[in-house]
Structure 1
Amino acid sequence: MRILYEYTKIQTTKVRRKDLIYPELSYKIMGILFRVWTNVGSNHKENFYQKAVAQDFKEDDLPFEEQLPVKINYKNKPIGIYYFDFLIDDKIVLEIKVRDYFSKKDITQLYSYLKAKNLKLGIIAHFTKTGVKFKRVANIK
């Protein structure tokens, strides 16, 4: 089993950058994601990882909502609904995927979620054969 460098870094590094949005909460989430990958391994369905992440959020007393529906309105009438994988501490949207690459579609989707709820930060986490890869997406006005 191979553990990625990021896992070690997240576990041992103090937050040094002052410009990051929610750095401590983000690092806690990353630690949980890497813990799940280390224990569950690779090549599983997306919803298996989601269930494991939710279980660890509960065990770590991290407040979250799962599969949160968010209505999109136009002229005060609903035109659609987004479903977030996770909304953590009413601050960070977390989307979990099982693939090796970040697509423009994934990033655009997450950015739309952030705008819909007027949130500052989202994280896309990809569970791959070699570990967890992540991308932070900021909604800066």
Structure 2
Amino acid sequence: MNADQDSRLIDSELTQQVIGIFYSVYNELGRGFSEGVYENSMAIALKEEGVPFAQQYPLTVWFRDKPAGEFRIDLMVDSRLVVELKAVTRLTRAHEAQVINYLKATGVQVGLLLNFGDRPEFKRLVFTDAHKQTHR
């Protein structure tokens, strides 16, 4: 099994469950609402499904053992899946980079970028120890 196959297996059951919830929320609400409405709707649906999560999860970025900045992750699911929500026309590399940076800062390996745009769109992003070696 190669590294790409391994990365597809990381938390695949949890990511599939969250993607299913994403489509359910999108199908029920449609497009056009603010990101906050979708975030709250995802939180309601995750809670109804019994999926543990934290909304607006605080994240401190450290540099040389000192806090360098603070961010909030839209949803941290089961302490092992970063979920970033967007309501834009299309996802960009900058959106992907945001999730990768959250993964780097938290040590979590898998993130989902979910877009409630003109059409539902998602990207599953992985940042493992193998990726860390190639990004130094």
Structure 1: how far apart are the matches of 2:60 and 2:128?
21
Q: How many residues align?
A: 124
Residue 72 of structure 1 pairs with residue 61 of structure 2? yes
Instruction: Show the counterpart of 2:92.
Output: 103
Instruction: Show the counterpart of 2:16.
Output: 27
Structure 1: how far apart are the matches of 2:62 and 2:23?
36
Q: For residues 70-108 of structure 1, what are the alpha-carbon distances to aligned partners after superposition, in whole Å with 9 as ceiling and x for unaligned?
A: 111122211101210000001110000011322111111
Structure 2: how far apart are the matches of 1:121 and 1:128?
22
- After the TM superposition, list the runs of 4 or more consecutive aligned residues in structure 1 that deviate by more than 3 angstroms: none
Runs of 5+ consecutive residues of structure 2 not aligned to the other structure: 130-136
Runs of 5+ consecutive residues of structure 1 not aligned to the other structure: 1-16
Q: How does 1:5-84 map to 2 (within 5 A)?
A: 19-84=8-73
Structure 2: how far apart are the matches of 1:76 and 1:23?
33
Which shows bigger deviation, 69-78 or 31-40? Answer: 69-78
The alpha-carbon deviation at position 20 of structure 1 amounts to: 2.2
Instruction: Show the counterpart of 2:102.
Output: 113
The alpha-carbon deviation at position 67 of structure 1 amounts to: 0.5
Q: So what's the TM-score if we normalise by structure 2? A: 0.86
Bigger proportion of residues as helix: 2
Structure 2: how far apart are the matches of 1:108 and 1:129?
22
Structure 2: how far apart are the matches of 1:100 and 1:129?
6
Instruction: Show the counterpart of 1:124.
Output: 113
What fraction of aligned residue pairs are identical, expressed as a percent? 28
Partner of 2:16: helix, strand, or coil? helix
